[in-house]
Structure 1
Amino acid sequence: MWVSSIKSLFCRRYVKKVNLSRFYHVSALGRLKPSFSNPIPQDSVVAHSQFLEFDRVGVVEALNGLRKDPNLAFSLFNLLKTGGRFSHDVYSYAAIAEILCVWGLDRKLDSVLLEIIRKEGDDADFGILEFLQVLEERLESRCSHVLVRVSGALVKAYASVGMFDEAFKLLFLAAKRGFTPHIRSCNFLMNQLVKHKKVDLAMEIYCRLKTVALSPNDYTYTIAIKALCVNGNLKEAENVFWEMEESGVTPSDFAYTTYIEGLCTHGQSDKGLRVLQECIAKKAPMDASVYAFLIRGFCNEKKLKEAERVFADMETQGFPPDHHAYSALIQGFCKAGYLTDALHLHSEMTSKGIKTNCVIFSLILQGLSERGKNADAAAEFKKFEGMGIFLDETCYNIVLNALCHLGKVKEAAAMLIEMKSKQIVPDLINYTTLVQGYCLKGKLIDAWNLFEEMEKIGHNPDITSYNVLIGGFSRLGYARDALSLLNYMEALGVKPNIVTDNMIIEGLCIAGKEEDAEEFLDNLEEKCSENYSAMISGLCQAGNTKKAFKIFVRLSKQGVLVTKGSFFKLLHNLFVGDDHKKALQLLKQMLLLDPMPPKIMYRKVIGMLCEAKKMDSAMWVFKAMVKTGLTPDSKIYTMMIDNYCKLNCLKEAFALLHDMKNRAIKPNAIIYTCLIDGSSRQYRVESYTERVGMGRKENKTDPVTILAEMKDAGVQPDVICYTVLMEHYCKVSNIEDAIGLFKEMVDGGLKPDVETYGSLLSGHCEVGDINKASVLCKEMLDKGIRPNDRINSLLGFHRKLKDMILDHVINSILRRGGIRNLKAMIMQHGIAF
């Protein structure tokens, strides 16, 4: 029926009578089939459209005639635009907008309004205001809701294309004209403004809502809370809840979650937790995601104990920890260096059927790599790979870097090939990492070949790639090649930076080509302190400390401050060479030039010396620090006591403990743990000397006595402390006391880790109690704790124990669902074959 009407309408009234023969082509419109899913196809209408001429009035009347069939009207509107048949004006746009709005076809209306906005930007014959005016005239007094809906849709359309100023003006202009958009349109605009960091404009809308008789709803208030939190205005965000209460609006779980997230983001996780507890007390709605925000917040504030408590509390409140909660806590453990805990937590997560991913893997691998545990990173990668989880370029790059630092460049190269075989395209970072590995190994030809391969496949080297290769050539003394590569790089439009210059200077010094390094430095048009720092660093690595010190003295007289990296390298070399006089001169000079607080500088120096096992020098700096009137802090005492204990210098360690108490500085759990560990080793040595009749040393300190002193001082032992003391009991065949400590630890709310289980398992095996070892190992696996190398070694040595554990694991796997990929699932438990 509608087909013939269109045919007659166009033939009689809406096509100009230019030539009678032209009407033969119009009949094609009559052959269209009405269908909502198949609007009028362009290729079936009017073969020679250039012969049809439409006027504005005719098009508007045609659209008006299709009011009851909005989909057909919309199809006709679009059809007329194609092939240049007709250029819609403000009147036809107003007509189609009214039809679509009345029928609630929001998506089609949005497309029309966006078209008008784009036309306005292209110098169209009319703008939005003229469009609204024509629409208002069309409607007269009827259908005022159409103007409200169109205005709201226009506000959203402007916001969706980032035209926020226009959206803001239109919102309040429409309200002034009496057709205020719905609050949902305001919410959309405010939310987009917050997403694009235009928080002030969003809050201006919020503050002006009441002036246009708009009542905010719960989502409006939540957006305002989010906006204020983004800007760190947490007190104002809290006041929004009072405004909600005054307006009779009940805050949603989203409002509370948004506020708590803001508190956690700005370092107020403690307050965030209090808000959560208040919500729980008054049974306010709450979302599980709030726990992940709190865990991440506490981890960022280095409050891991609080993060763990929140994690544990989730289950109590009826929210089993999800992927986000596990991910946040694993990341916190990795950043803090608690990698054993991170691996334990990851095993627990997967054992509960919560899917892991490459993002979590990369956090663990990065944590291992950053702490120099490159071998562990490579081993964990293999374990993850065996679990059948997709590993992305980031995971591969961490392991590539780890292998290169281990000198296993062949394995790294094989891994690059493996990536390609798995359809993972190595990126520029992957290639650059392997190039650096070849350079560190001295294989410059391989490095250059890989560099060329990288270029051929379309990975244009960036400044980092060039710096790595230039540094490699320089360190091996190929000055000309390094400079040739520098010229080649510049010819391709890649500009060298300070790092490039420093790579060449430091590399040439390391290679013993100091004259070439000095010549290059002299020829630089602009020199900076970092260039001289590179020279000092290179000379120190080459062992020419004397010359490096002369350069430092010359620079310091000129008031030039070298980088902290080169300073510590020079200081380290002076202490290693027992040149304490120059070391003190260097330290004093740096304290004069560097704004770093003196105590932090001393702490860094002592830490560096402790790491190098130069305890005499560390004590010399400690005493020099005290002479200046500075009081050593707990961190300095901890470093020194720890290293004295590792070197079996317990007399010096206990002297520092006594000194610490005299200064009213409370020893921490780490210090007591170090002393217990050191005393345990000495106890076993002295017990051996007694057994072989060599006499007994004086001042023997019992580890148990230290534990008692620790508790008397109000310092609670942690998992590590208990584990160290259990290890002591197990090694002196006192398994009963070790079991007693294990029970005391668990009863006190502490969770045993893989090291704790390893110590107790070792003790049971030592006394031949395989059955108790089996029970303990099963308990560990059921908690999702994966065996480490020590436990796997025990399983390998005690075949009966391993068979019992494998039976337990296999039965557990079968209960969870079949035997597919059984070996991989056993490996997931960490058990080595």
Structure 2
Amino acid sequence: MIITKQISKISQFFQAFQEPFNTKNLFFIKYFSSTIPCPIDSNTQDLDTQLRSLCEKPNPQYANAVSLLNHFLDDLGQTPSESTFNFLVVTLAKSKEYNLGLRVYHKMRKVEILPRFLSLAALIECYVYVHKPKLAIGVLGLMLKNGYKVNVYVVNVILKGLCENGMVVDAIKFFWGLDMKEVMPDIVSLNTLVRGLCRDKKVQEALDLRFSMEKVVNFAPNSYTYAILMEGLCSEGRLDDAFGLLEEMREKGLEEDVVVYSTLINGLCNKGYVSRGKELLNEMLEKGISPSVVTYSCLMYGFCEQGKLKETTMLYDDMLERGIQPDIVTFTGMIGGLGNNGMAKKAMELFNLMISRGEKPGNITYNILLSALCKEGLSDDAFQILKLMVEKGKTPDVITYNTIVKGLCESGKVEDAMTLFDSMLGDEAYVLPDVRTTIVLIRGLCQEGYLDKAGEIHNKMVEKKSLVDIGTFTVLIGAYIKAGEVVKAFELWKQLHQLNLIPDSITYSTIIDGFCKLSVLNIAKGLFLRFRKKGYHPTAFDYNSLMDALCKEGSLEQARRLFQEMLDGNCEPNVISYNIIIGSTLAAKDLQSAKELLIDMPQKGLKQDAFTFSTLINRFSKLGLMDEAKKLYARMNASGLTPDVTVYDCLLKGFSLHGETAEIIDLLRKMAAKGIELDLRLTSTILECLCNISEDINVEELLPNFSQKKSEGFSIPCSELLTMLQTSLPKLQSDSAL
């Protein structure tokens, strides 16, 4: 009877392992393991010793340990002890060898060894870092079923895994589903969720969560919480709200630290408010808060973007004096800032300084510098940097080559670009070109007028059945249409269908726009209708191209019908759409319709741009409606938009036509105050206005001083022209009287 019971118990034990981790089976496992001793033989002890020794520091050999484990289990049929299995899982997780840790765990299951609490916690960490957070939650359930008490560290690991894998909504649900009596979240829990929401562009939800945590859990945020929220607000351009959080911190007695300040400085610099960022740095220093390399890097990048090298140099020197060493990110940011501001030579000097200091730039830094050099046509310098890159043991990638090819094409050196492209296709090439390389090269050749050569390269790639896609076809078709070679364009259109390539919206837009610019409207309209019947949805760009061409042809009613189509829901009109119709409506002297369109724009959520105002002011001035023109000019300034010379030219001519001398002088003074530079057209208009002014007015005393800068298109300096203008006034007035 006793033997029968014992056999039954053993049978139940093995049956339990057929469904491992089932709660109702845990009793048998625990009972069996507690009543039947499991002696460790000498072979097992030797295996345990070997496995543990391979994991000892300072030179652990984790992969060898797992290989040895597999060898003993699979080849020799020997099994290490339970404690060694658990030791391996925990050790591998701590050493961030997550995949190896999972492999050991699966072996544990295979030989029916139950993981302990620390092993299960390590297993959760492994699943999180191999991007399988839902399996980590499953292990958490297993821990609870085993009667283990889950601590907040395990919870935070799962929250982090969910957030970093784009599952922040699941993280929030998991968090609020916790039994707060069993495990109380801490500040790490809050900060993990807040960061996850901000990364997911859900800043307002992060702010709401912060309030909920304070109310429900009575959990106050710390300075790091505020720094995360400030970073999220700054990324959305909500600088005022970010600084509002700074004030809130101070009210709650929290001290700002370097992370908070660096976050705000970065936000300011990204929006171009670098001087304000420098003020915050000074504020930090006054409070005794030491800036970090990140603080200085943000500011130096900002000043480089604005071309303020003096300020950048001063910050760099100050940084070194404080014992803060610039890192690769600092240098790369500064090089990028200088390059974006058209100072590639200065960027190269900084790069050389970086090399001399022993820094080892990666491909990103090299590519940024190469892009800057190529944009300015410094191809010789770019090739020197490419050579240095290879000498330093860095392998140029396809981005490197595409950067140089693009730079060479943009600086007109298409022959050099072709040579480089051919070398990429060679047998000893560092890297093969991609479709992007072909597109860049073909576009460069087309822009320089080498259409035949672009066609040859395209055909060559088609024959090889490589490096061509719908993008290469689109570029070449657009170039052929622009050059008036319609037959070749249609041959390519036929060819892309033969290759089973599907035209995209850019292809359709390119073709329609090309025929509009050629004023071949019958074909453009026909294609527009044909493409739409095929299920293609025209974009605002397509509508605008066709409407603009129709308006220039004088077919205003057809353009209006297309515009009404957009309003009816076919396509949302944009500011350009309104500008085209408003300009054409005014040209047709339909003032009422133009005013209605102007009122309709803000109702559609669209703001009038500088072109809108310029068009309206131009038309109203020509129609002699100067009161309307002045109101529009005032609204333009109030909107923060800068009037161009066309606006001033139209206003001056309109005032002159109606003899409004006071308005002319007032406008000239406003122009001078704004530092408007006079070009030849505007200067000629001013001279005409002065010719029409009464002799009784001493214009010489009223005329303001304009900028002394030389404007584009000027053959003589402004100062000389203005002197000539002022000294010639009596003669001009005399000639006008005659």
Q: Shorter-chain TM-score: which interval? A: 0.5 to 0.7
Instruction: Give the counterpart letter for 1:532 in structure 2.
Output: F
CA contact (8 A) 1:294 1:307 kept: yes
Instruction: Give the counterpart letter for 1:91 in structure 2.
Output: Q
**Structure 2 CA distance for partners of 1:227 and 1:457, relative to 1, 3 Å:** closer
Corresponding residue of 1:385: 313
Corresponding residue of 1:514: 451
Q: CA deviation at 1:277?
A: 0.8
**Structure 2 CA distance for partners of 1:403 and 1:330, relative to 1, 3 Å:** closer
**Structure 2 CA distance for partners of 1:117 and 1:478, relative to 1, 3 Å:** closer
Distance 1:384 1:512 in 2: 42
Corresponding residue of 2:473: 532
Distance 2:60 2:207 in 1: 45
CA-to-aligned-CA distance 1:736-776 (integer Å, 9 cap, x gap): xxxxxxxxxxxxxxxxxxxxxxx9xx99xxxxxxxxxxxxx
Distance 2:553 2:274 in 1: 32
Q: CA deviation at 1:448?
A: 4.3
Distance 2:130 2:540 in 1: 45
Corresponding residue of 2:607: 671
**Structure 2 CA distance for partners of 1:536 and 1:225, relative to 1, 3 Å:** same
Corresponding residue of 2:596: 658
Corresponding residue of 1:494: 431
CA-to-aligned-CA distance 1:206-264 (integer Å, 9 cap, x gap): 111133221112323333444444462735743544432353x3322222333333444
TM-score by length of 1: 0.54
Distance 1:500 1:639 in 2: 34
* Aligned counterparts, 1:313-712, within 5 A: 313-320=248-255, 322-325=257-260, 339-341=271-273, 344-345=276-277, 347-349=279-281, 351-353=283-285, 377=305, 379-380=307-308, 382-388=310-316, 389=319, 410-425=345-360, 427-432=362-367, 435=370, 447-470=382-405, 476-478=413-415, 482=419, 485-486=422-423, 489-492=426-429, 494-524=431-461, 525-526=464-465, 527-536=468-477, 550=490, 554=494, 561=502, 584=525, 598=538, 601-602=539-540, 606=544, 624-627=562-565, 630-631=568-569, 636-637=574-575, 640=578, 658-659=596-597, 661=599, 666=603, 671=607, 697-699=626-628, 702=631
Secondary structure of the corresponding residue to residue 491 of structure 1: coil
**Structure 2 CA distance for partners of 1:303 and 1:491, relative to 1, 3 Å:** same
Corresponding residue of 2:69: 120
* Aligned counterparts, 1:683-762, within 5 A: 697-699=626-628, 702=631
* Aligned counterparts, 1:294-309, within 5 A: 294-297=229-232
CA-to-aligned-CA distance 1:699-757 (integer Å, 9 cap, x gap): 356589979xxxxxxxxxxxx968789xxxxxxxxxxxxxxxxxxxxxxxxxxxxxxxx
**Structure 2 CA distance for partners of 1:533 and 1:638, relative to 1, 3 Å:** closer
Instruction: Give the counterpart letter for 1:522 in structure 2.
Output: N
Structure 1 stretches lacking a partner, 5+ long: 1-87, 101-105, 134-146, 369-374, 687-694, 708-719, 726-758, 764-793, 795-833
CA contact (8 A) 1:602 1:621 kept: no
Instruction: Give the counterpart letter for 1:534 in structure 2.
Output: V
Corresponding residue of 1:752: none
CA contact (8 A) 1:641 1:656 kept: no
Among 183, 187, 200, the residue aligned to 1:253:
187
**Structure 2 CA distance for partners of 1:461 and 1:557, relative to 1, 3 Å:** closer
Distance 2:337 2:613 in 1: 31
Secondary structure of the corresponding residue to residue 245 of structure 1: coil
Instruction: Give the counterpart letter for 1:699 in structure 2.
Output: E
CA contact (8 A) 1:117 1:128 kept: no
Q: Percent identity?
A: 15
Distance 2:426 2:603 in 1: 58
Q: CA deviation at 1:522?
A: 2.1
Secondary structure of the corresponding residue to residue 419 of structure 2: helix
Secondary structure of the corresponding residue to residue 568 of structure 2: coil
Secondary structure of the corresponding residue to residue 184 of structure 2: coil
Distance 2:370 2:62 in 1: 54
Instruction: Give the counterpart letter for 1:204 in structure 2.
Output: G
CA contact (8 A) 1:362 1:395 kept: yes
CA contact (8 A) 1:117 1:158 kept: no
Distance 2:447 2:530 in 1: 25
Q: CA deviation at 1:461?
A: 3.0
Corresponding residue of 1:244: 179
TM-score by length of 2: 0.60
Instruction: Give the counterpart letter for 1:199 in structure 2.
Output: P
* Aligned counterparts, 1:141-220, within 5 A: 153-160=87-94, 161-162=97-98, 163-166=100-103, 168=105, 181=116, 183-220=117-154
Corresponding residue of 1:232: 167
* Aligned counterparts, 1:813-828, within 5 A: none
CA contact (8 A) 1:486 1:496 kept: no
CA contact (8 A) 1:676 1:706 kept: no
Instruction: Give the counterpart letter for 2:187 in structure 1.
Output: D
CA contact (8 A) 1:244 1:251 kept: no
Q: CA RMSD in A?
A: 6.0
Q: CA deviation at 1:503?
A: 3.7
Distance 2:220 2:186 in 1: 7
CA contact (8 A) 1:436 1:468 kept: yes
CA contact (8 A) 1:187 1:223 kept: no
Q: CA deviation at 1:414?
A: 3.9
Corresponding residue of 1:91: 45
CA contact (8 A) 1:225 1:259 kept: yes
Corresponding residue of 1:280: 214
Distance 1:619 1:454 in 2: 60
Bigger RCO (CA 8 Å, 6+ sep): 1
CA contact (8 A) 1:535 1:548 kept: no
Structure 2 stretches lacking a partner, 5+ long: 1-41, 320-324, 643-669, 675-706, 708-738
CA-to-aligned-CA distance 1:661-701 (integer Å, 9 cap, x gap): 569x6365x8379799979999xx99xxxxxxxx9823356
**Structure 2 CA distance for partners of 1:544 and 1:381, relative to 1, 3 Å:** farther
Distance 1:110 1:421 in 2: 33
Distance 1:622 1:403 in 2: 47
Corresponding residue of 1:780: none
Distance 2:556 2:257 in 1: 47
**Structure 2 CA distance for partners of 1:624 and 1:385, relative to 1, 3 Å:** farther
Among 81, 84, 94, the residue aligned to 1:132:
81
CA contact (8 A) 1:477 1:507 kept: yes
